Structure 1
Amino acid sequence: MMPLFSSRAIREADLRASEEYGLAGMVLMENAGAGAYRFLRERFPRARRLVVLAGAGNNGGDGFVLARHALLDGLSCRVFLVADPENYRGDARSNLDALRLLGGDLRCAAACSDAHLLEELSRADVLVDALLGTGSTGAPRGQAARLVALAGTSAVPVFALDLPSGIDADTGAAHEPHVSAVATATFLAPKRGLFIFPGADAAGEVRVIPIGVPPAAVLPRGTDAVLFDAEDVRRFFPFRRRDTHKGRQGTVLVLGGSANYSGAPLLAALGALRSGSGLVVLVVPEAIADRCAAALPEAVLEPVPGTRHGPGTFAVLENWKSRAEVLLAGPGLGRDPETLACVRKLWRTWTTPVVFDADALFALADPSGGIPFRADAVVTPHEGECARLLGLRSTDVAAARLDAVRRLGEALGCAVLKGPHTLVHLPDIPNILGVPGMSDLPAASETRETPTPGTSDVPPMPEISAAAGARRANTLQVPGAPGTTLVIAAGSPGLAVPGSGDVLGGVLAGLLARGLAPGDAAGVACWLHGAAGERLAAERGEEGLLASEIAEALPGVIEEVRHGKTGKRATKEAETPCRLG
């Protein structure tokens, strides 16, 4: 797991580097700008003409260092300043003066018309966004906003320093205007907002640039967000023993199906079987049982009398209660009032781990409240379903995915927020120790981060509604609080097809049945599901994939994980870069 850090942790690390290790800000800025330039040259080897957009703070100073190295390397480099040169201070001013003495081409953006600026930007091979760094908050303003907007209309690829201007370093929220970069050189350590959508999309390819101080020496030991990748899957996946049999592989009950949705429980069952479950029992209405049996003979059928689920469902489930490790409720279930009442009762009374998906989540959006927290449960909403559970709009959730999944997890149990770079919140798992070599170096302060009164590390959102009604509903998750969020480093737009979520629910339930803890099962399932989508997209393209094909790709992905053939998705400067956004 690669730790992802808050902007506050990064600011304190910079301060510690200078105060405790004697590294001057000029040294850190030089290492940052020079390292970013090397990455730029590797990423754009044919670029001959750069335009640097330089902010008034240290991010602008990093841009001046990059421009100086470009100048010394024989490239054409023009720098547009958001402020008068006399207003720059500290290390940024020193690097501005050095660039000017070496003959750097410096222009004040305020003195140029929009037409002139757009012409200059459009003639560049690469635009360097050195406007706003990790320390900035809110939307770009003034000349910075003007340059960001013009860069967006220039059609020239953008290379961002530290993070794209207008992207929140902590949450990934995208303010307007904001930069959409092809690549981002981030300094010292990865920031959360570079890996959480929509920020991850705006960041493009991400590379961590060393700045001359070991991250473990200056960063906090604990982190409340981590990037979950192939190596983590390999560590947690319960690979089969040579002497195994189906009884050791776990039994999953799939509760779902209705007259109009017979395919959803089948896809969930297929996901469970293709990820290694020993036995899958389909608990479906009698009206669709024959259809399900013909489509998937490998599953056991337990018909419920009638055309929908209701009180009669409990008698069928009781037959398997002592033999099944996990109950997956929701795929194709329908929203009949009797069905929803049945599902709510199961949430309160079922004694083995549960996965609630799709229409089962609709049942949890109970206006009367009283839905208790379950430590052995996993809920798997998409943004619209999450919004219903939290009493928000789906656009609110999309704009603040990290905050939303944390609120939901603290209210109900382990929460999966499906979508690009799926998020998994583990409410009962303390902050993860994730910096390699940490034990060999002096520790940074382990004091929990507490926001300044009147401020927050996440965008304000309404209180969780009575829809979730849990005992921890009003607890705002802040960096350093108990609980860890996994950011899943796998996925493809090709996964956005009907039934894809049903397959994921089946994979997750199957892993729970094989003995994984809820958070581990959720992380592994989401990664495998995402990697299967990537594999299919590489073979066939992103358009026109089927959910059943995602399930069919799972065994191949699992075998690749077993043999270590899937590479990590985050890189250090010396490693080959890869796409993260």
Structure 2
Amino acid sequence: MKNFYMPADIREADNIAAAKYGVPSVVLMENAAKNAARAAVELAGDPKDRFVILAGRGNNGGDGFAAARHLLIGGAAVTVLKSDADEVYKNDAAVNLAILRRFDGERLRIFDTPELTDSEISSLIGGARCVIEGLLGTGTSGAPRKEPARLIRLLEGCKNVLALDIPSGIDPESGGVYEPCIRAAETVTFLAPKYGMAFCPAADCCGRIITADIGVPPEAILPRRPKMSLYESGDLHRMLPEISRNIHKTERGNLLVYAGSGSYRGAPLLTVRGALRAGAGLVFAAVPDFIAPHISAELPEAIVLPLATRNGEVEGASASAVISEWLPKCAALVAGPGCGRSEGVEELFLWLWKNCRLPLLLDADMLWFYGRNLSELAPRADVLLTPHSAEAGRILGLTPAEVDSKRAECAFALTAKTGQALLKGRNTLVASSEELRMIAAGSPSLAVPGSGDVLSGIIGAFIAAGIPIADAATAGALAHGLAGEALEARLGVRGALAGEIADEIPAVLK
């Protein structure tokens, strides 16, 4: 798990390191630069190769000057391209520039870029195995201007760029990108990643993110609660309960699934399959009566509860009566995949909201009814919403594009009545009233019909197993994403089926 913090938190952490622990800022810069130099050597592949460092006037430039010295110690040839004259640099940056000046020799060249032509700068950059970019830091705002903008444009197309702290031209708070902007192969960020670096399009500009220490334990100087946490494959298993060798099927967590309609007869199959593959105990499939024989034939492991229909639509009153009979046997309920938008389904939705005391996952068409009745619903803390951008937009009164442009804010907004929500998409978000999580797993192979149904089943199984709702959503999204990555590795990004996503889950959980 990686924790992301706001830039202001990082700046305050530097102040705490100096004021509380007595570590001068120039020492923090030294430690950061040493780690940056190490990352640059790894990117280049040879400590004695040629490096170019672009140094702006702020602390990022100072990091670059100190990194240049460490590269010289390792035997590298270093060219430093300064965006400003020496007298412009202040404080720690000026200290490190003055030190570096004393090493001027055969392996070190220092230039002021305003005195060079574009072709001269491009020639110097082209001769380097690795370019270290330290033009603008987190204290700047808006699009790069003047000399930094010129240098960034001259770096376009350069492959081995290592950005210091953040790539110049991104917004480290929002994840937005200005023009021009550095597109780095790697970013070595100091102390902790900045919040905006997790979100596209900034994330694409960062490349691989390496977190470098600054010589002070992060937990001593950073806020106790990060702005966001990124959950990775290694975090999955610590969220799953232990399985006793003596376990009985009814002790795994029973799940009730309400899904399906005349147009979406396969949705219940995929949801139930996802739940069973994720380790659920008994799974009860409450489906329209005309789907029931199909479910029994295709997935005999499920317990099928036929719901009476009239003219092909579920009757809300009779459906609620059937479901209420079986709820005491279950630990969670998933409602919505492929259920349609008939009056009977809306009646059932309202009944579930008022009367179902089990943790409730709402997906697909049930999210439509949630948005339609939002103002009249009493708050519940045991409901998980699982929308994609279009579904979230309908609930929040936004377009899908607007949701995608501010995913974190929308994920939090979705929790107003339920306390938690999962916003699907690239880097799925799980939000609760005070916490935001991002899922670092996934693949284009997951963008297929029925994939979301499988995800609902997986999460439902985890909730039924007794995992807290936010953890169940996180673990389910991780497992789903890792299954997609496994399918991509085996089949590529085209042609995977939703059922294959479900069938990949046991191997992922193993």
The normalised TM-score by structure 2 is: 0.90
CA contact (8 A) 2:44 2:160 kept: no
2:62 is aligned to 61
Q: Distance in 2 between matches of 1:518 and 1:6?
A: 26
Q: Which has the larger radius of gyration?
A: 2
Q: Distance in 1 between matches of 2:140 and 2:351?
A: 48
2:15 is aligned to 15
Report Cα offsets for 1:121-156 as digits up to 9, x if no partner.
4444333221222333444333333433443x3242
CA contact (8 A) 1:372 1:412 kept: no
Q: Distance in 2 between matches of 1:251 and 1:350?
A: 15
2:40 is aligned to 40
Q: Distance in 2 between matches of 1:164 and 1:407?
A: 29
SS at match of 2:329: coil
2:485 is aligned to 534
Q: Check 1:211–1:370 CA distance in 2 against 1; reply closer, same or farther (3 A cut).
A: same
CA contact (8 A) 1:126 1:158 kept: yes
2:191 is aligned to 188
2:461 equivalent to 1:510: yes
Q: Distance in 1 between matches of 2:372 and 2:122?
A: 53
2:498 equivalent to 1:495: no
Report Cα offsets for 1:474-530 as digits up to 9, x if no partner.
xxxxxxxxx111222333333222222211111111111111111121121112222
SS at match of 1:515: coil
SS at match of 2:327: coil
Report Cα offsets for 1:33-59 as digits up to 9, x if no partner.
111111121233048333322222101
2:273 is aligned to 270
Shift of 1:10: 1.0
2:506 to 555, 563, 570: 555
1:152-551 matches, cutoff 5 A: 153-306=156-309, 307-311=312-316, 312-366=318-372, 369-427=375-433, 483-551=434-502
Report Cα offsets for 1:286-333 as digits up to 9, x if no partner.
333333332222112222233233424323322312222212112112
Q: Distance in 1 between matches of 2:150 and 2:138?
A: 19
SS at match of 1:319: helix
Which amino acid counterpart does residue 325 of structure 1 have in structure 2?
Answer: A
Range with bigger deviation, 46-55 or 21-30: 46-55
SS at match of 1:154: coil
Q: Which has the higher contact order (CA 8 A, sep 6+)?
A: 1
Which amino acid counterpart does residue 9 of structure 2 have in structure 1?
Answer: A
RMSD: 2.5
Range with bigger deviation, 293-302 or 352-361: 293-302
Q: Distance in 2 between matches of 1:101 and 1:57?
A: 21
SS at match of 2:256: strand
Aligned length: 503
Return 5+ residue gaps in structure 2 as ranges: none
Q: Check 1:41–1:419 CA distance in 2 against 1; reply closer, same or farther (3 A cut).
A: same
Shift of 1:341: 4.8
Range with bigger deviation, 28-37 or 158-167: 158-167
The normalised TM-score by structure 1 is: 0.80
CA contact (8 A) 1:59 1:133 kept: yes
Q: Check 1:545–1:114 CA distance in 2 against 1; reply closer, same or farther (3 A cut).
A: farther
Return 5+ residue gaps in structure 1 as ranges: 428-482, 560-581
SS at match of 2:81: strand
Q: Distance in 1 between matches of 2:293 and 2:259?
A: 15
Report Cα offsets for 1:319-366 as digits up to 9, x if no partner.
312222212112112234543453244334322110011222122222
Shift of 1:119: 5.0
Which amino acid counterpart does residue 59 of structure 1 have in structure 2?
Answer: N
SS at match of 1:98: helix
Report Cα offsets for 1:351-408 as digits up to 9, x if no partner.
2110011222122222772334321011111223222222223233323222221222
Shift of 1:88: 1.6
CA contact (8 A) 2:362 2:384 kept: yes
Pick the structure with more helix per residue: 2
Which amino acid counterpart does residue 57 of structure 1 have in structure 2?
Answer: G
Range with bigger deviation, 372-381 or 68-77: 68-77
Q: Check 1:363–1:111 CA distance in 2 against 1; reply closer, same or farther (3 A cut).
A: farther
Q: Distance in 1 between matches of 2:20 and 2:205?
A: 34
1:147 is aligned to 151
Q: Distance in 2 between matches of 1:18 and 1:370?
A: 53
2:84 equivalent to 1:78: no
2:4 is aligned to 4
Q: Check 1:44–1:314 CA distance in 2 against 1; reply closer, same or farther (3 A cut).
A: same
Q: Check 1:156–1:119 CA distance in 2 against 1; reply closer, same or farther (3 A cut).
A: farther
CA contact (8 A) 1:125 1:156 kept: no
Which amino acid counterpart does residue 466 of structure 2 have in structure 1?
Answer: G
Q: Distance in 2 between matches of 1:346 and 1:544?
A: 37
Q: Distance in 1 between matches of 2:347 and 2:55?
A: 59
Shift of 1:237: 0.7
Q: Distance in 2 between matches of 1:126 and 1:411?
A: 50
SS at match of 1:216: helix
